[in-house]
Structures are given as structure tokens and as C-alpha cells.
């Protein structure tokens, strides 16, 4: 670093030092840690030197977020994500070159923590955003040397980077295997409604997602990253895991689709389980799916484990298969106008027949001038003879053949407009054909009819169809590969959804216009010799669709198995879900091995379900929940108008986000209300787990902003009117003391707070440090940390407030006046009794106590003073049978009644009974008092024993008289001792001042110095005079002490304290806790010390005492 000039003040003067590499004249550049854990921290001296800078960021959260996102495995998962920012937290190396020259000397102090704009812009220009995905894994595998290959800057545009991946992910298995069946079952109109519902949901979600994705740089992490950074770690973790489960079950669905195509349409003879009876066909198919699906899953997992580069290289092939298949469908539709394909469907009456086992759709045919029965005859009769016993329905109805695909202009669209729902086993019938009775339902199940394999209804079809519109996150997941992610993600995603919506709508209409209704409702193509129904429509051959859909499902399955483990790995490395930590590890190149194993295990569950129609609603739930929270995130951020919410995508509105959120929620319950509840319970459990056990994260999320807004609104509402008596509860300000190491002196005070509050209401734990804030800053922070730690240990829920003041008296006054905010202010002060006030040399301790009592009274706050607080029970103690004794001498608004009731709500005091003692004077009717008090407690709904104690006006005893006299003599003596101490200090100061003056007046000769001092001072004369005056004063003072007579007012007060103490000790010495009215301090401050004596006498011989002083308002009421 080049030399620079620094102005350093020395003893009021100014000197200029040249700072070089080895300069000792000035401190080294501080390197404060402003939040990034990759930045050097500097030494202690460095940090202290940097504290004087006004512009220096002291807040660790003041880091400007996300400019370079490091995705190495060991760089995840502490309090702040490893995001490096060139704005503030530059490293020491950067600082070396951050400033050179004198034309900006005014700002040179800020150069240590804040970079020049030129260096900031230079860093932004060189910024790269690595993806979390296949690219770095491939590079790690291919790289043999010690150094990694240089990362190429991302060059993908909107079409290749977003549009095509979204298209590939959205179009898939449901389009090829189930859309024709959905159109046939629901009819064209209801199918259009299903498509419109689902596509509107994804379009609205895409708008919200675009807003979030363009609000700053989104590292590859897709929906999990967006939701967790927008709604916080709890929502992020819950929804991230839901999205993970959805992606995993999507893998199951694609694998099941692959196997269905393989076993039903490509090689039906490969089936291991073959049904001998027709009723066993469904079970046999499911078992085949389980066996082949498990094998396929194992194979795909091995492919993903070996290396995802193979999957990525095949992605284009899979996409080509999807596009070719869709083009083949449109070509086939156009061809039906001129030349419909020949796919006859054989009907018996109005019932559709499976034509696997017969060729001609005839009962009898003529062969060589002979009429013979056909294979169809043998299926319905017990022999091939004409006189064989046949099924009655077969005899009564004719066999007809209709064209399965009559063509676009055939008018079949009018027949397919309306829905045909039905139960399991219902036959697929054409209502336009005649049918005559004679059917026997018990026999029909064995006949080769095409029947419903599941019970169908509208909401089921919604759940089955929805997975065909998922996949809209594919673009945002690849944001790291894009040349301009903020431009490409919105355009590409919305265009892809518009394209696929157009494809789905046109397919619904074209399928309904081209294909006969009975063939549409034939799910597996049994009526057209086991052909794929959509394949019969395609051109040039059904095999185009069969092969295309097979490879499409394979590719989608592989991509699910590739993406899901990485998503789980990202969640695990973020460290928000502790039990997932193990899944953050992987191979040397970062491949998520353990996550892949878990994904394969969960995927196997879906495969064991074996039915595509049963798995589809499961993953619909998880995706819908994810989309719901994307919409919620956008709505919350928009409504809060947080300063950082500045999306480049402008075509969003909170109303659209709420509509999308409502639509997602509605679709969840429409699809399957019980799956929706299960998905919500899973997400809720994860949310609560992260809340209680997860790592603390601060990502600047919207929920925190929402909480702040809600708190502000509630505080403003609270301030409108004071709380009603029914709502009154002690809102505590706890005045704590700390020792010299800033450790909490009396943690049992916090235990008492917890037992009194049980987590309800406001608790502020306050502490005062003596000094100035600039010098005591570090101690104040340490004290605050220690108090918070003690609060956590004692389970005290509340806030900590440490004040640094020039003296304790003012500090406590400031706390009592200013603690709390708006309507959330304390109404009760809790403090410990100063037990060592008699032994203390400094009277300021008990004077501070009395002034605090006066100030709480002036502020109309209630006051609780705990004596022997260290003997109070901990939260782990369980007090046995015993009593809480209340001595109700003066009515204080009901505080004495309310406190035992609140204490008994806690486990510690639950078994204790409440006793109330009140004091009767000579002219009181004690029997009537007891009855009235019992009735009062009955109306208050409090269970307590009542006792009236009579205190007679006895003569003041000699003991009381003497005790008062001793108290006053002691007080007088202490005042004189204090006076003499002050006098001595004043004299010492006088001598010091004269000494200083004499040194200034004499010559600089060292040997003559002491002699001149003796010549200037007249010590002997001074000491003699002083001692004579002191002895005279002392004799007078001693004489006055022995001739003193006690003040009559003090004698009466002492009499009350002694007599009341005798009664209380007699009745309540064995009680677990004694609550007692606290007398007010005297108006004349001269009697403060006597007041402390009175309280000490009053409490003598009692173990746990809580002195209570009301705040001047009623706190308990008999009314409901």
C-alpha cells in the first residue's frame, strides 16, 4: 500500500504522520467483521480503533445481500448464508488496493470499511453466479488435475434456458396416458373447466414467481430458495421439503407411466403376473408395475449416481420426443378430415367389448358356404355349437362395429360434450345404440366388457390432471445458466405456460371432436386391440406416440431423480432442519449420494402404490402447497412494501397473488381433502420443528416484516385506551443486578418472574451499569448477553434492556420512565430487597432503593419487593402441601389477591393453598369482617381460607422504645461518621491543591524541592487546629447521643412494625410464601434510614416474603 497522510491528535495538538508499511505512529487499518464469515476479523486493537467511525457499520445484519453465492458443500448452513458482497465487507486484500491518492482525503477513514464506487462497480462487472446443478459436478468429474476448470460465463437465452426446459417439464405422462380418458369421462366442457382451473393456477403462480425471481439475483435453488428468503426459514424448510416430496413422487409417477407404456402397449407379453380370470387383471397389472417399477427405479438411480452428465446429454433427445409426439397428434387430427384411420370398436348392444381374443366383430360368419360361430361366440357361450348355453344379454342384443375415430367433421363432438361419471366396474356404453335387457351383473364381471377400473368423479379427475401442469419452476431452477435471468425467467415461464395451456385446450377439444366417446373412456385401449388411445389418432403411426411417450416418461423420471436429491441437499446444507444434516454430504464432487438413496426410498413407496391414478393426487398436493406459498410470498412482500422489494417484472399485483393462493388452496381440497389435510399436517410439523429445533436464520424474510407491521398496528390500538380491570395482569419490569463480570446476581428473581407470568403478558428485564455509554459499550453488550442467557435458562419470555447511566439512581429512573413501547409498557416493578444495606459503607444503595419505591408510586406502578430472593424455589422445584399467606392490611386495588392466584397457575406452587389474614382494630366486628371477606372472595371466584387477626392497642413496650432509641442513635452516629469522612476528604483535596500550587511556584532544582514545600506548608499548625476542633465536636456529639429522646412518630411506627411482625411470625412462619402490604416511604427524606429499619423489623424472622405495593388502581373485579 502506498504512503498516506493521517492526522493524529496528541495532547490537544496536531501532528502529521506518514503511514507506511512499518509505521508505528498510527494504528493499522481496522478490518471489522460486518457479517460475512469469509471476511477477516482483525485484531482487538483494530476493532477498537474502528469504533469511532460514524459511518462504520456496527450491525452484522447491515450486509448488502447476495452478490456472489458460493455453492461449495462446506460453505453452507450457518447464521448468514455465505454470500459475499463487494459493498461493505471487503477483505484485507481488497483493502490494500481500495484507496490510493489524496483527492478523496476527506473520506479516507471510511475506506477501511466501505469501498470506493469504482472498485464496487469493478467487482459487479466481474460477478459470476455458479449454478447448483449438474455443471460443476460434471466439471469435477472430468477434471483430473488439482485445479478446477475455469467457469464459462452463462450464455443461455430465454428460449433455450427457460422456455424449452419448462415445456419439457410441463408436457408429459398425463397428456399421453390420461387426457383422452379425462375428456371422455368428464366431457369436453368439464375437461375445459379442469384445464382452465389448473392452468390459471400455474399462470398466477408464474406471475408471482416472476416478481420474486426478478427481485435481485436468485441463485439456482428454485422455489425453495425463493420461499425461504421471502417467508423465512420455517416456511422455506416446510415448503422446500414439500416440494422435494412432490418432485420425488413425480419421479414415481413418471416411472409408473414408463412401465404402463412398456407392459400395456409395447411388450404386453413381458408381464410376469398373468391373470387367469378377468377379475384378477387389475391385481396382476399392479403387481407387474411394482416389480418392473422397482427394477426401473434401481436402474435410473444407478444412472444418476454414475453421473448426471448422461442425463443432461439425453435431455434434448427426450424433449425432441415430446415435441414430435405432439406434432404427430396434430398431424393425425388434420388427416382425420380427409381420411379417418380405421380403428373399429366392437359393440354388443350398447356395451363396448375388449377385442384382444377375437378378430371379427360377428356372432357367426360364413366360411366356405358354412355358417360357423366366431371366437366372440365362445367368449359368451359354453361351447362353439349353435345350441350351446349363452349369456342372455349376448342372445338378446346384436353385435355392431362402430368407427373408433370418426373424424373431425363427423359431429361426434356433440355427443362428447357432457360427463359420464360412474362407479368402479361400470360398463363403458354408447347411449345412442339400442340395448335389450337380460343382463346378469353377477355374470357380467366375467365377460369381456370394457369397464371402469376406478370410481370416477370430477374432483378425482382434477387431482389426476394437475401434475400435467407442474414443472413451471424449471426456468427459475436454471437461473445460473441464463445470460439475463431477470428478463428470461418471466418471459420464458409465462410463454411456456401459455403454449402448454393452448396445447391442452386444443387437445381437449380435438379429442372430443375426433374420437368416439366409448373409445375415449377406454383407459387402456382394450377395445382397439390394446393400442394407446391417443396413438390411434396420431400420424403416421401409433408407434410414434408410444415410443415418444415412453422416452418422454423415462427422461422426466431421470430428471426428477436428478433434481430431488439436489433440492434435499440444498435444504440440508442450509442447516435449518437438524436431522437432515447427513443428507448434505455426498461424493467428492458434491454429488448428493445420501440424498439420492433417500429419494429412491421415497420413490419406491410411490411405486409400491403402483397406480398412476393414486400417485398423481399425492404429488398434486405437494406442488399445490409449494405454489400456494410462492403466491403468499409475493403477496406479503407487495403489501408490506419493504424497501428491498423492487422487482424488474412489473406486471404483478397482490390481488393476483391472493387469487392464485386461494385457487391453490381450493384445488388442494377439490383434488382430495384428506390428502390436503395430510400435506398440511406434514408441512405444519416441519414448520414447528424448525421453529423449536432449527438453526436461527435471519434472511430478511417477509414474515418478519409482517410481524413488525402487526406489532405496530397492535401497539397503536393498545394505546387508544387503558386496559380494563378484567384484562389487567402484571406487566413486569424486573430490576436485576449484575456482578463485576456482568453475571446475573439473583437468577431466582427470573424464576419468580416465570412462575408469576407463565409466558403471558410483557416482561422487561432491566439492568443499569454505572459510567458512560462510550466506555461501557462492550460491558453493556456482555451484560445483555448474560441476562438473555439467564432468561433462557429460567424460561423467562421477555425482553432485555441494559442502560448505561452516570449513576444508578438516574439509570433506574430512566428504566421506570421509558421501558416498553406505546401500549406495551410495564405496570409493575419487581426488585430484590437490599439485604446488606446495614453492612454497606455506602448509604447510596438503600437510598437508591427508597427513591425507586417513590418513583414507582409517582408513576402509578405496582411494586413487588422479594426478600431472601435466593431462597425462592426454582422452576424445577415442586412445593408440597403448604400455604401462601396473604396479610391484607391496606386495600391496594386487589394486587394481594391476584398474585397468589397467578402463582398457583404454575407447577411449582400448584399444591399450595391460599390463606388470607386481615387485621381488625379494637372497634371492628371481627366476626362480621370474616363473613364479609369470605363473601368477597366468593364473588372474586378465589378459593382461600380466611382469618381475622385482632391487634389491640397495647401500651408501647420498653423494648419498642429502646429499639427506636437505638435506631435513631445509630442513624445520628452514621451521619457524623459520614460528615467526618467528607471533612477528611475535603482536607486531603485542599492539601493536594496547595501542593500543586507550590510546585508551580518553586525552581526546577531537584534537591531544593522538598525544603521549599515545608517552607510553604504550615502542617503542624494546621493539624493541631484541626484535632482541637474535632475533639470538641466529638465530645459534644457523644454527649448529645446519650441525652437523645426518640421521636414519638418513630416510636409509634416501630410499635406497629414490632406488633405486626409478632403476629405474622406467629401465624405464617411455616408458610411457603408470605405476601404483605408494603408501607410507603416517608414524605420527609430525613427519615429514609428509619424507614429501612421499620421494614427490617417488620420482616424479621420470615424466610420468603413478597412486599406488595399497589399502583393506585383496581386490578381485580367481581364482575364477569
Q: What are phi and psi of 270, to 5 degrees?
A: -80, -5
| 41-45, 151-155, 667-671, 1067-1071: range with lowest mean pLDDT | 41-45
Give per-residue pLDDT as tens, 810-865.
Answer: 888 889 888 888 778 888 999 988 877 777 766 777 888 888 888 888 888 889 99
Give the mean pLDDT of 406-435. Answer: 88
Residue from 190, 188, 186, 196 nearest 497 by CA: 196
SS3 138: helix
Asked if residues 382 and 388 have their Cβ atoms less than 8 Å apart, the reply is: yes
Q: Give 741's contacts (C-beta < 8 A, 6+ positions apart).
A: none
> Residue 1010 and residue 996: Cα distance in Å, rounded?
13
> Residue 367 and residue 37: Cα distance in Å, rounded?
90
CA 978 to chain centre: 59
CA 78 to chain centre: 15
How far, CA to CA in Å, does 709 sit from each of 611, 716, 823, 934? 47, 11, 15, 47
Peptide bond before 303: cis, by omega within 30 degrees of 0? no
SS3 129: coil
The pLDDT, as a whole number, for residue 105 is 62
DSSP annotation of 695 reads: P
Give per-residue pLDDT as tens, 983-1037.
Answer: 556 655 665 565 555 555 444 444 444 443 344 445 565 555 555 555 555 454 4
Q: Give 1034's contacts (C-beta < 8 A, 6+ positions apart).
A: none
The listed range with the strongest mean pLDDT (178-182, 530-534, 1060-1064) is: 178-182
SS3 894: coil
Q: Is the pLDDT of residue 181 over 90?
A: yes
To which H or E segment does residue 402 belong? Answer: strand 399-403
To which H or E segment does residue 301 belong? Answer: helix 281-306
The pLDDT, as a whole number, for residue 220 is 53
SS3 1030: helix
Overall pTM > 0.85? no
Neighbours of 496 (CB within 10 A): 26
Find cell 379417418 and name the residue.
Answer: 340
> Residue 39 and residue 91: Cα distance in Å, rounded?
5
To which H or E segment does residue 732 belong? Answer: strand 732-735
The pLDDT, as a whole number, for residue 182 is 94
Mean pLDDT of the chain: 77
The pLDDT, as a whole number, for residue 421 is 92
Angle of the 958-1001 helix axis to the 1019-1042 helix axis, nearest 10: 170
Q: Is the pLDDT of residue 57 over 50?
A: no
The pLDDT, as a whole number, for residue 704 is 73
Q: Is the pLDDT of residue 184 over 90?
A: yes
Q: Is the pLDDT of residue 329 over 70?
A: yes
Find cell 435453488 and name the residue.
Answer: 221
Q: What angle do CA 1113, 1114, 1118 make, to 5 degrees?
A: 170
Give per-residue pLDDT as tens, 431-475.
Answer: 888 888 767 777 777 788 888 888 999 999 999 999 999 888 887
Neighbours of 801 (CB within 10 A): 19
The pLDDT, as a whole number, for residue 905 is 86
SS (H, E, C) 930-983: HHHHHHHHHHCCCCCEEEEEECCCCCCCHHHHHHHHHHHHHHHHHHHHHHHHHH
Asked if residues 1109 and 1077 have their Cβ atoms less than 8 Å apart, the reply is: yes
The pLDDT, as a whole number, for residue 280 is 75
Give per-residue pLDDT as tens, 509-552.
Answer: 999 999 999 999 988 888 888 888 888 888 888 888 999 899 88
Give per-residue pLDDT as tens, 1098-1116.
Answer: 888 888 899 988 877 777 7
> Residue 892 and residue 1115: Cα distance in Å, rounded?
9
Residue from 731, 760, 737, 762 nearest 749 by CA: 737
Burial 767-788 (b: 16+ CB within 10 A, else e): bbbeeeeeebeebbebbbebbb
> Residue 428 and residue 1102: Cα distance in Å, rounded?
90
> Residue 228 and residue 238: Cα distance in Å, rounded?
9
Burial of 952 (0-12, 13-18, 19+ CB in 10 A): exposed
Give the mean pLDDT of 643-652. Answer: 88
pLDDT band with cut points at 50, 70 and 90 for residue 978: low
Burial 98-114 (b: 16+ CB within 10 A, else e): bbeeeeeeeeebbbbbb
Q: Is the pLDDT of residue 5 over 80?
A: no
- Cell triple for residue 199? 392452468
> Residue 27 and residue 519: Cα distance in Å, rounded?
87
Asked if residues 583 and 560 have their Cβ atoms less than 8 Å apart, the reply is: no
SS3 292: helix
The pLDDT, as a whole number, for residue 640 is 83
How is 364-399 classified by DSSP, letter by letter? EEEETTEEEE-HHHHHHBSSSSTTS-B-HHHHHS-E
> Residue 606 and residue 616: Cα distance in Å, rounded?
10
- Percentage of the chain beyond pLDDT 70 is 74
The pLDDT, as a whole number, for residue 1104 is 87
Which neighbouring-strand residues pair with 764?
733, 799
Asked if residues 53 and 113 have their Cβ atoms less than 8 Å apart, the reply is: yes
Asked if residues 826 and 733 have their Cβ atoms less than 8 Å apart, the reply is: yes
> Residue 608 and residue 286: Cα distance in Å, rounded?
9
> Residue 240 and residue 472: Cα distance in Å, rounded?
15
How is 758-791 classified by DSSP, letter by letter? TT-S-EEEEEEEES-HHHHHHHHHHHHHHHHHHH
The pLDDT, as a whole number, for residue 294 is 94
Which neighbouring-strand residues pair with 948?
918
Asked if residues 352 and 449 have their Cβ atoms less than 8 Å apart, the reply is: yes
Give per-residue pLDDT as tens, 877-903.
Answer: 888 888 999 988 877 777 888 888 888
Give per-residue pLDDT as tens, 495-519.
Answer: 999 999 999 999 999 999 999 999 9
Amino acid at each position: 500500500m502506498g504512503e498516506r497522510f493521517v492526522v493524529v491528535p496528541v495532547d490537544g495538538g496536531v501532528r502529521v504522520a506518514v503511514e507506511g508499511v512499518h509505521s508505528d505512529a498510527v494504528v493499522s487499518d481496522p478490518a471489522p467483521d460486518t457479517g460475512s464469515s469469509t471476511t477477516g476479523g482483525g485484531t482487538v486493537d483494530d476493532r477498537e480503533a474502528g469504533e469511532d467511525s460514524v459511518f462504520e457499520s456496527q450491525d452484522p445484519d447491515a450486509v448488502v445481500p447476495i452478490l456472489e453465492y458460493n455453492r461449495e458443500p462446506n460453505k453452507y448452513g450457518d447464521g448468514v448464508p455465505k454470500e459475499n458482497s463487494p459493498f461493505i465487507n471487503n477483505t484485507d486484500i481488497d483493502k490494500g488496493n481500495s484507496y490510493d491518492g489524496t483527492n478523496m482525503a476527506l473520506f479516507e477513514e471510511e475506506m477501511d470499511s466501505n469501498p470506493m464506487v469504482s472498485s464496487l462497480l469493478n467487482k459487479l462487472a466481474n460477478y459470476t453466479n455458479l449454478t447448483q446443478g449438474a455443471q460443476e459436478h460434471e466439471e469435477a468429474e472430468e477434471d483430473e488435475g488439482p485445479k478446477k476448470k475455469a467457469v464459462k460465463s452463462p450464455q443461455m437465452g430465454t428460449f433455450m434456458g427457460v422456455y424449452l426446459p419448462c415445456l419439457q417439464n410441463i408436457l408429459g405422462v398425463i397428456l399421453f396416458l390420461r387426457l383422452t380418458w379425462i375428456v371422455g369421462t368428464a366431457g369436453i366442457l368439464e375437461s375445459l373447466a379442469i384445464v382452465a382451473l389448473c392452468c390459471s393456477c400455474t399462470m398466477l403462480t408464474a406471475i408471482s414467481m416472476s416478481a420474486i425471481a426478478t427481485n435481485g439475483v436468485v441463485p439456482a435453488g428454485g422455489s425453495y430458495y425463493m420461499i425461504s428468503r421471502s417467508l423465512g426459514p420455517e416456511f422455506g424448510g416446510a415448503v422446500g421439503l414439500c416440494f422435494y416430496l412432490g418432485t420425488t413422487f413425480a419421479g414415481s409417477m413418471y416411472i409408473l407411466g414408463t412401465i404402463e407404456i412398456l407392459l400395456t402397449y409395447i411388450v404386453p407379453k413381458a408381464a410376469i403376473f398373468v391373470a387367469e380370470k378377468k377379475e384378477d387383471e387389475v391385481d396382476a397389472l399392479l403387481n407387474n408395475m411394482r416389480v418392473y417399477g422397482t427394477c426401473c427405479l434401481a436402474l435410473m438411480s444407478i444412472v444418476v449416481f454414475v453421473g448426471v452428465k448422461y442425463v443432461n446429454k439425453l435431455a434434448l433427445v427426450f424433449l425432441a420426443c415430446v415435441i414430435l409426439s405432439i406434432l404427430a397428434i396434430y398431424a393425425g387430427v388434420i388427416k382425420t378430415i380427409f381420411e379417418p384411420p380405421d380403428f373399429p370398436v366392437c359393440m354388443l348392444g350398447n356395451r363396448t367389448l375388449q377385442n384382444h381374443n377375437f378378430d371379427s366383430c360377428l356372432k357367426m360368419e360364413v366360411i366356405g358356404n358354412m355358417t360357423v360361430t366366431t371366437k366372440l361366440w365362445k367368449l359368451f357361450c359354453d361351447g362353439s355349437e349353435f345350441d350351446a348355453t349363452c349369456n342372455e344379454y349376448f342372445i338378446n342384443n346384436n353385435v355392431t362395429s362402430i368407427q373408433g375415430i370418426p373424424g373431425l367433421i363427423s359431429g361426434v363432438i356433440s355427443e362428447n360434450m357432457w360427463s359420464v361419471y360412474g362407479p368402479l366396474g361400470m360398463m363403458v356404453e354408447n347411449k345412442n345404440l339400442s340395448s335389450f335387457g337380460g343382463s346378469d351383473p353377477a355374470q357380467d364381471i366375467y365377460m369381456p366388457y370394457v369397464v371402469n377400473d376406478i370410481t370416477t368423479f370430477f374432483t378425482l379427475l382434477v387431482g389426476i390432471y394437475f401434475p400435467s401442469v407442474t414443472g413451471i419452476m424449471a426456468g427459475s431452477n436454471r437461473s445460473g445458466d441464463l445470460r439475463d435471468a431477470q428478463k428470461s425467467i418471466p418471459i420464458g415461464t409465462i410463454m411456456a405456460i401459455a403454449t402448454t395451456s393452448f396445447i391442452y385446450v386444443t387437445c381437449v377439444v380435438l379429442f372430443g371432436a375426433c374420437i368416439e366417446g366409448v373409445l375415449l373412456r377406454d383407459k387402456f385401449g382394450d377395445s382397439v386391440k390394446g393400442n394407446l388411445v391417443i396413438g390411434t389418432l396420431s400420424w403416421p403411426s401409433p408407434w410414434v406416440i408410444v415410443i415418444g411417450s415412453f422416452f418422454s416418461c423415462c427422461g422426466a423420471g431421470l430428471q426428477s431423480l436428478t433434481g430431488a436429491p439436489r433440492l434435499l441437499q440444498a435444504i440440508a446444507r442450509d442447516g435449518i432442519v437438524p436431522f437432515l444434516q447427513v443428507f448434505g454430504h455426498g461424493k467428492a464432487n458434491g454429488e448428493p449420494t445420501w440424498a439420492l438413496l433417500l429419494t429412491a426410498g421415497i420413490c419406491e413407496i410411490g411405486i409400491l402404490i403402483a397406480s398412476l391414478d393414486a400417485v398423481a393426487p399425492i404429488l398434486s398436493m405437494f406442488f399445490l402447497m409449494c405454489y400456494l406459498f410462492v403466491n403468499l410470498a409475493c403477496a406479503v412482500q407487495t403489501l408490506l412494501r419493504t424497501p428491498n422489494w423492487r422487482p424488474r417484472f412489473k406486471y404483478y399485483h397482490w390481488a393476483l397473488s391472493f387469487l392464485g393462493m386461494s385457487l391453490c388452496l381450493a384445488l388442494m381440497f377439490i383434488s382430495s381433502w384428506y390428502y390436503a389435510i395430510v400435506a398440511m399436517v406434514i408441512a405444519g410439523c416441519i414448520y414447528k420443528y424448525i421453529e423449536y429445533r432449527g438453526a436461527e436464520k435471519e434472511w430478511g424474510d417477509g414474515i418478519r416484516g409482517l410481524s413488525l407491521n402487526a406489532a405496530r398496528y397492535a401497539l397503536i390500538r393498545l394505546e387508544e385506551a387503558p386496559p380494563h380491570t378484567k384484562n389487567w395482569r402484571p406487566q413486569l419490569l424486573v430490576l436485576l443486578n449484575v456482578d463485576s463480570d456482568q453475571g446475573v446476581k439473583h437468577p431466582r428473581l427470573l424464576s419468580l418472574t416465570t412462575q408469576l407470568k407463565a409466558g403471558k403478558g410483557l416482561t422487561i428485564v432491566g439492568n443499569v451499569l454505572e459510567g458512560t455509554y462510550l466506555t461501557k459499550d462492550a460491558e453493556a453488550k456482555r451484560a445483555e448477553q448474560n441476562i438473555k442467557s439467564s432468561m433462557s435458562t429460567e424460561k423467562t419470555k421477555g425482553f432485555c434492556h441494559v442502560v448505561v447511566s452516570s449513576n444508578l439512581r438516574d439509570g433506574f429512573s430512566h428504566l421506570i420512565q421509558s421501558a416498553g413501547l406505546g401500549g406495551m409498557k410495564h405496570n409493575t416493578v419487581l426488585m430484590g430487597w437490599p439485604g446488606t444495606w446495614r453492612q454497606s459503607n455506602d448509604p447510596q444503595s438503600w437510598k437508591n432503593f427508597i427513591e425507586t419505591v417513590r418513583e414507582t408510586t409517582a408513576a402509578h406502578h405496582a411494586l413487588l419487593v422479594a426478600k431472601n430472593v435466593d431462597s425462592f424455589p426454582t422452576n424445577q422445584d415442586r412445593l408440597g402441601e403448604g400455604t401462601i399467606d396473604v396479610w391484607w392490611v391496606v386495600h391496594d386495588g386487589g394486587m394481594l389477591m391476584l398474585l397468589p392466584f397467578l402463582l398457583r397457575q404454575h407447577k411449582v406452587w400448584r399444591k399450595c393453598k391460599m390463606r388470607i389474614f386481615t387485621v381488625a382494630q379494637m372497634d371492628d366486628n371481627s366476626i362480621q369482617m370474616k363473613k364479609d371477606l369470605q363473601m368477597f372472595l366468593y364473588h372474586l371466584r378465589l378459593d382461600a381460607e380466611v382469618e381475622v387477626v385482632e391487634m389491640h392497642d397495647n401500651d408501647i413496650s420498653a423494648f419498642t422504645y429502646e429499639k427506636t432509641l437505638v435506631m435513631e442513635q445509630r442513624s445520628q452516629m452514621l451521619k457524623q461518621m459520614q460528615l467526618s469522612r467528607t471533612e477528611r476528604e475535603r482536607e486531603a483535596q485542599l492539601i493536594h491543591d496547595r501542593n500543586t500550587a507550590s510546585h508551580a511556584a518553586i525552581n526546577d532544582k531537584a534537591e531544593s524541592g522538598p525544603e521549599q514545600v515545608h517552607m510553604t506548608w504550615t502542617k503542624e499548625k494546621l493539624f493541631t487546629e484541626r484535632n482541637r476542633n474535632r475533639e470538641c465536636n466529638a465530645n459534644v456529639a457523644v454527649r448529645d447521643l446519650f441525652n437523645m429522646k426518640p421521636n414519638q412518630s418513630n416510636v409509634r411506627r416501630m410499635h406497629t412494625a414490632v406488633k405486626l411482625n409478632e403476629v405474622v411470625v406467629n401465624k405464617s412462619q411455616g408458610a411457603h410464601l408470605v405476601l404483605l402490604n408494603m408501607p410507603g416511604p416517608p414524605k420527609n427524606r430525613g427519615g429514609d434510614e428509619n424507614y429501612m429499619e421499620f421494614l427490617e423489623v417488620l420482616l424479621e424472622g420470615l424466610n420468603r416474603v413478597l412486599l406488595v405495593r399497589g399502583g393506585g388502581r383496581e386490578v381485580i373485579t367481581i364482575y364477569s
